[in-house]
Structure 1
Amino acid sequence: MSTAQTQREHVATILHALENPGGIEHAVIERSWRRCIDRYGLDPTAPSPPRYVPDRTLREHQDQADALIQVARAGVEQLYRQITSLDYVVLLTDARGIAVQFLGSNSAQREHQRTGLYLGADWSEEHAGTCAVGTCIQEQVPLTCHHSDHFSAHHIQLTCTAAPVFDPDGQLLAVLDISAYRSPESKASQTFALQVVKHYARMIEDAFFLQRYSGYHIVCLDRSREFVQINRRYLIAIEEDGTLVAANTAGRKLLRHHELPLPGPGEARPFRAWNIQDLIDAEIGDVLDTQHYGDDRVRAFRTHRHHELHFATLIEPQRRRAPTGETRRQDSSLAPLETLADDDPAMRDTLTRAARLRNEPINILVIGETGTGKERIARALHDSSRRHDKPFVAINCAAMPESLIESELFGYEPGSFTGASSKGMKGLIAQADGGTLFLDEIGDMPLQLQTRLLRVLAEEEVLPIGASRPLKVDLRVVAATHRDLRGLIESGDFREDLFYRLNGASLRLPPLRERADKGYLIRRLFKELQTERGESQSRLRGDTMSALLAYPWPGNIRELHNALRYALATHEGNEVVVGDLPEECISGHLAHPAAQPRSSLDRLAVGYPALARGEDPLHDALRKHHWNISAVARELGLSRPTIYRRMKRLGIVPPHQQDAP
């Protein structure tokens, strides 16, 4: 059947259904078709192509959905990994139907744009007609809009499945959608897709709820003891006295079921008129003690009204009460270590051991890839120890010239060799007396110096070049390496006895790509760099944060530090946008890692749809703005240095420079 014939039959089906109400299987679709004609004045005989909002408007929608985008990122990416092999794309739209986040294969980019399955597309029912996103917004229920369910004949080859995401007040916050432009004819083929989207929409909604009310006690309820810790179906935020603050969608349904009348969306919130004790037969002390009850930290309660058995666990507030007395002093001393990580399990284990070792008279070996922060943890060990008011001396054994390393480490007496200072020099080891000596890249230290260092550590004294008497030194050594020291011992390049002198205890730092607290590190380093630059107004936009979180960081924290410094140096206004990041950080943004763009222009098109439309969009934008780089940068959401780099790569030369010699 030809495309034209298919479209004619589709129009006839719509008109017949509207003339004969109740004649189609799904009432939701019929109501939407009627709205398309009666309310929006859409014409099924004149299908229109997808509508994209301008880039500036898209950025405004992304800004307004910033908090959601940051929370939803992990869920959207996880959902995409589940369905990418089936040729679906994932869209997250705001409550007005604008796609503010997109994941899809870059190899099908043109098809995504042609069908509207792309960043910045307007899927509101008013513009797109009956579709999963727009109709979900109107009906506020999960649904599948399959092939001829769509109002516009332009979309009848698509299958789209969407689920609403509600905020803690019951207001529509966003819509999560998966779509494909090739699928079986039967709508039943999308049954599993509907369940998957509903599951991830609920995950995003609950994650947003947990973040919004992280400062409160959150009671998690479920009908199953075995699944309450995992499922957390009903979430209810409460004050210390049990007063209800908010509940997730399932929690609000539970409260209504038990005759605690709550409002619909947009009505005044009466939560604080109720107490958790109005729902379950328990004292508030029993509820707050749930986290310390039994081996599984789960407690059973019955509801007042229907005497239903529910199992509860408790998430305690993240806010920290100010400690007193000795605890305050101890926490203050640990602050340099505590700031190095947030909730990454490997780092928390490393920092817990570091805290226990910080005042012990043993040397420590720090192991980790280049750039993972080995010097930073060494300095934090020093700053949190009793030696904090003494020198911290750092030496990079790989960077120091071999001809100078002996004199730099051990010092020398006046006139001890040609070119020596007439006053002599105190070596770095002696300078660290009473404090901490940090030996970075210890695996690159020459063998002959390893022998002399071993003597220093064994006898706690150092002999400067040309001196007859050694100097006593009291120091703690923290050594670091990214190399396999045991392998170097086997090859004869590192002394085994020195290894055991240095390795009184070892601390291993995970690479940045494996850390669960990347968001914390990004925010902390960003704030540190702002302080260094004397500014505090700039912020990382949600899509920028997503790009930073998605990048694998082969250079670890050092590379992250450099990327943020670059972004702060090149950004304009009060926001750091994706285009302000170094190119390598942008390459994976909004595209799945398995489907990376093939060129710089492709990468730019993935993040900025305006650059993907037309044969030479950058050149068109430059002509449109009469070669005003600042204006072009604003329109495309990029920094001026990025525009200049694109121009250079594409061989675009401004008219006033074309005749230059």
Structure 2
Amino acid sequence: MPTTISQREHIDTILQTVASPEAGQPPSDNTIISRSWRRCIDRYGLDPARPTPPRYVPGATLRERQDQADDLLQVARAGVEQLYRQVAPLGYVVLLTDARGIAVQFLGAKADQREHQRTGLYLGADWSEAHAGTCAVGTCIHERSALTCHHSDHFSAHHIQLTCTAAPIFDPHGQLLAVLDISAYRSPTARDSQTFALQVVRFTAKMIEDAYFLQRYGDHAILCLDRSREFVQINRRFLLAIEPDGRLVAANTAGRKLLRHHQLPLPEAGEPRPFQAWNIQDLLDAQADEILGIPHHSDDRVRAFHTRRHREIHFATLIEPPRRSASGQPSQHDSSLAPLEALADDDPSMRDTLTRAARLRNEPINILVIGETGTGKERMARALHESSRRHDKPFVAINCAAMPESLIESELFGYEPGSFTGARSKGMKGLIAQADGGTLFLDEIGDMPLQLQTRLLRVLAEQEVLPIGASRPIKVDLRVVAATHRDLRELIHTGRFREDLFYRLNGASLRLPPLRERADKGYLIRRLFDEINGERDSRVRLRGDAMSALLAYPWPGNIRELHNALRFALATCDGDEVVVDDLPEECTHGQLAHPGASRGCSDSSAHPATAHTPQQDLLYRALVRHQWNISAAARELGLSRPTIYRRMKRLGIVPPNQQPAD
């Protein structure tokens, strides 16, 4: 909607306001705007009766300004593009200017380029208040605060058709870096129509400012504070860069306000002196090592502290700097650790286990992996092997519980030709000898028969194996990784496991937590899903409802059960996505009670008052909505009619007219 005020009325309002503040006020009754109008006349000598056309800096000057702002532009690009995607459908363009008001980045519809250039909403335009008069960018630079300059808030009559909203972006020491602006040619007359614009520009400017802060001080520990434990890792409202001894180096805008609130004086805006080097202990009632140790002493990497002066509770998390080598240079990532790193994401127990595994991978000691059935003990053993110097040698896995007792000796140790009835004529090389130079994995070691435990002990002690029927032992170089879900000390106590063998195998132990206790279930689900997808050469997607059900299930069979459930879902799903209904029934059974069971269902004749699974609930509601029209329900759910009938049968859903009479 075009503005209704004429240029003559606009000029008269400005002149009246400047000549006699009581006689006239800006249309917005905004003191920021009236102050700017006075500056335009008194300080810059601008005349509202002479509209100021847009001014563009020469190309060389623009490139120089862009070069000077390059660090910021690299960080800001994603935020500017995200903002443009939000506001472009509403007719806005996006400008990022430097601290002097020169537009160094611009996004707008290419079809409207001439209109952009005519009004100054384009790359290289000078939006300083001294030239353009009262405007969102120039006045924001002067006032150092976010504002909207709507229609006749502008000083120049050339701009009264525009609505512009801008927010400042500051560097870590409070110096103005840039201004973010969105502008439109057409908008409703009411200034309140730009409330959304002001909020979204403020938010994006803060996001860019904080991203620049994190990049600028990426080699420091960054302390993040918030009044909420739940949001501190998301909001990161207050950011403080600190040295290893706790000295404060810099803070974002919110952080500087927090420090001033707690009476820690900082340089005033525009002062050249550096950030005042307070210590973090002057703000928080804690020692520096307590704060720097947050990631290692709290499972959720968050700790609560009182502020020293006002005793306010703030929750803190820490972004740690890159680890450095002894030379002071950033340490290079060891790519050989990739097999181990792939086993977990951010689970604290697994982090501790993998840290220990990384240290042990090349040590000449045997390792015992302990965990419930299905927790991934063989995956751990393979990852140890693949990340070690033995990775190009054999990895031989033996399940001591699955091998028949009558064959286990010959399979493990091998035999010479003619050693016993039924033996191969050329003899056989045992699994232990096959692992020479590599890794021998003994799964379920607690189920190995006692007499074989004695022979295995000799192999480990002497690093040689004697095949059945042989007179001379064979030297072997192997590392043993054993695994068990049983309590070996209890087996020792009852005489079913040799104590000396236990100490040979348990050079070091690695404990794997059950899947139900892991904080990185989502990572494991996605990783296994992608693995199976890759094996099948498919592009099936895991939908959110299925992921939610998988995260909620307690997984008594651990990762092995998860693997099987995902294989089942991928094998039985229709189309290009796995939904909750495609999961095995045990993964969703009892997760959700049907609303009719608890609130009283008016259609009680059609619905038994029992607990229902989410997929049963979803299908039942679709059928009721369409009055049990199978074709209509199938279209709504994107399924075929045979699939609907099959799922109704599996889930026990019966149409009302087919239910037996009481």
Structure 2 length-normalised TM: 0.51
Shift of the alpha carbon at 1:341? 1.0
Alignment correspondent of 1:85: none
Distance in 2 between residues matched to 1:620 and 1:477, nearest whole Å: 64
Question: Would the alpha carbon gap of residues 329 and 308 (structure 1) be closer, same or farther in structure 2, given more than 3 Å must change?
Answer: closer
The 1:617–1:601 alpha-carbon spacing in structure 2 relative to 1, beyond 3 Å, is: farther
1:406 matched residue in structure 2: 409
Q: Does 1:362 align with 2:362?
A: no
Distance change (3 Å), C-alpha of 1:555 and 1:399: same
The answer (yes or no) to whether the contact 1:633–1:643 under 8 Å persists in 2 is no
Give the equivalent residue in structure 2 for 1:343. 346
Contact map agreement 1:373 1:558 (CA 8 A) in 2: yes
Residue 418 of structure 1: how far off its partner (Å): 1.5
Q: Which residue of 2 aligns with 1:394?
A: 397
**In the superposition, relative to structure 1, how do residues 326 and 470 fare at CA in structure 2: closer, same or farther (>3 Å)?**
farther
Instruction: Decide whether the 8 Å contact of 1:411 with 1:424 is kept in 2.
Output: yes
Compare 426-435 and 227-236 and name the one that shifted more: 227-236
**Greater shift after overlay, 348-357 or 564-573?**
564-573
Deviation at 1:449, TM superposition (A): 1.1
1:433: Cα distance to partner?
0.5
- Please state if 1:297 is matched with 2:302: no
Q: Distance in 2 between matches of 1:603 and 1:640?
A: 25
Change over 3 Å in CA distance of 1:232–1:397 after alignment to 2 = closer
1 CA distance for matches of 2:447 and 2:540? Answer: 41
Q: Distance in 1 between matches of 2:535 and 2:414?
A: 34
CA contact (8 A) 1:564 1:581 kept: yes
Aligned residue in 2 for 1:334: 337
- Counterpart residue number, 1:542: 544
Match of 1:220 among 216, 219, 224: 224
Q: Among 618, 622, 625, which residue is 2:631 paired with?
A: 625
AA partner of residue 567 (structure 1): A
User: What is the one-letter code of the residue matched to 2:224?
Assistant: C
Structure with larger RCO (C-alpha < 8 A, sep 6+): 1
Checking the alignment, whether the CA contact within 8 Å between 1:363 and 1:502 is kept in structure 2 is yes
Counterpart CA distance in 1 for 2:444 and 2:363 is 23
Contact 1:221 1:310 (8 Å CA) reproduced: no
Among residues 514, 517, 533, which one is paired with 2:517 in the alignment? 514
Aligned to 2:582: 580
CA distance in 2, matches of 1:602, 1:280: 71
Report the Cα distance in structure 2 between the residues aligned to 1:279 and 1:642, rounded to whole angstroms: 69
Question: 2 CA distance for matches of 1:319 and 1:578?
Answer: 40
Q: Over residues 238-296 of structure 1, what are the superposed CA-to-partner deviations in whole Å (9 max), with x where a residue is unaligned? A: 8999897xx9xxx79x89x99xxxxxxxxxxxxxxxxx996999957979999999223
Contact 1:411 1:426 in 2 (8 A): yes
Given residue 295 of structure 1, which amino acid in structure 2 is its aligned partner?
A: D
Structure 1: how far apart are the matches of 2:269 and 2:510? Answer: 51
Deviation of the 1:439 alpha carbon: 0.3
2:562 is the alignment partner of 1:568: no
Alignment gaps of 5+ in structure 1: 1-166, 172-207, 259-275, 654-661
361, 369, 374: which one pairs with 1:371? 374
Displacement of 1:379:
0.7
Tell me the residue number matched to 1:424.
427
Task: Find the counterpart in structure 1 of residue 461 from structure 2.
Answer: 458
Superposed displacement of residue 607, structure 1: 4.6
Separation (CA, whole Å) in 1 of partners of 2:386 and 2:396: 12
- 1:611–1:618 Cα contact (<8 Å) kept: no
**Code of the aligned partner of 2:360:** L
Matched, 1:501 2:507: no
Aligned residue runs from structure 1 range 230-269, under 5 A: 235-236=236-237
Paired residues for 1:59-70 under 5 Å? none
- Secondary structure, counterpart of 1:296 in structure 2: helix
Q: Is the 8 A contact 2:232 2:316 kept in 1?
A: no
Once the two structures are superposed, the pairs formed by residues 151-300 of structure 1 within 5 Å of their partners are 220-221=224-225, 235-236=236-237, 294-297=288-291
Inter-CA distance 538–326: structure 2 relative to 1 (3 Å threshold): farther
Which amino acid in structure 2 is aligned with residue 447 of structure 1? L
Return closer, same or farther for 1:320/1:541 CA change in 2, 3 Å cut-off: farther
Is 1:447 the counterpart of 2:450? The answer is yes
Q: Distance in 2 between matches of 1:539 and 1:300?
A: 46
Distance, in Å, in 2 between the alignment partners of 1:590 and 1:318 is: 44
| Structure 2 counterpart SS, 1:297 | helix
Partner residue, 1:491: 494
Coordinate RMSD, CA, aligned: 5.4
Q: Shift in Å at residue 632 of structure 1? A: 2.7
Please tell me the residue identity of whatever aligns with 1:625: S
Which protein shows a greater Rg?
2
Q: Aligned partners of 2:528 and 2:588: how far apart in 1?
A: 19
1:229·1:313 contact (CA, 8 Å) conserved in 2? no
The aligned runs of 1:120-139 (5 Å cut-off) are none
Give how far 1:220 is off: 3.4
- Amino acid corresponding to residue 520 of structure 1 in structure 2: Y
Determine the C-alpha separation between the residues in 2 that align with 1:310 and 1:589: 37
Contact 1:214 1:317 survives alignment (8 Å): no
Counterparts in 2 of 1:499 and 1:633: CA distance versus 1, 3 Å:
farther
- Identity rate, percent: 62
- 1:40-91, Cα deviation, whole Å (9 max, x unpaired): xxxxxxxxxxxxxxxxxxxxxxxxxxxxxxxxxxxxxxxxxxxxxxxxxxxx
SS, match of residue 353 in structure 1: helix
CA distance in 2, matches of 1:650, 1:459: 63
| Unaligned runs of at least 5 residues, structure 2 | 1-195, 201-206, 242-248, 262-266, 293-304, 599-606, 656-662
The aligned amino acid for 1:635 is L
> Counterpart amino acid of 2:577?
E
CA positional deviation for 1:411: 0.7
Measure, in 2, the Cα distance between the counterparts of 1:412 and 1:169.
82
Contact kept in structure 1, 2:347 and 2:519, CA below 8 Å? yes
- Which amino acid counterpart does residue 290 of structure 2 have in structure 1? D
Could you say what secondary structure the match of 1:625 adopts? Answer: helix
CA contact (8 A) 1:411 1:464 kept: yes
- The equivalent position to 2:484 in structure 1, one of 455, 478, 481, is 481
Conservation of the 8 A alpha-carbon contact between 1:619 and 1:652: no
- Aligned partners of 1:300 and 1:309 also within 8 Å: yes
SS of the residue corresponding to residue 334 of structure 2 reads helix
Change (3 A) 1:396 1:634: farther
- Work out the CA distance in 2 between the residues paired with 1:552 and 1:214: 41
**Kept after mapping to 2: 8 A contact 1:219/1:312:** no
The answer for the alignment partner of 1:552 in structure 2 is: 554
Question: What number of residue pairs does the alignment pair up?
Answer: 411
Secondary structure at the aligned position of 2:646 is classed as helix
**Helix, strand or coil for the counterpart of 2:410?**
helix
Q: Secondary structure of 1:334's partner?
A: helix
Query: How far is the alpha carbon of 1:333 from its aligned partner?
Result: 1.5
1:483 Cα deviation after fit: 1.0
CA distance in 2, matches of 1:625, 1:228: 49
Q: What CA deviation, in whole Å up to 9, does each residue of 1:220-248 have, x standing for no partner?
A: 3468xxx999978973388999897xx9x
**Native 8 Å contact 1:572 1:639 kept in 2:** no
User: Per-residue deviation at 1:297?
Assistant: 2.8
- Give the secondary-structure state (helix, strand or coil) at the position aligned to 2:236: strand
Quote how far apart the aligned CAs of 1:503 are. 1.2
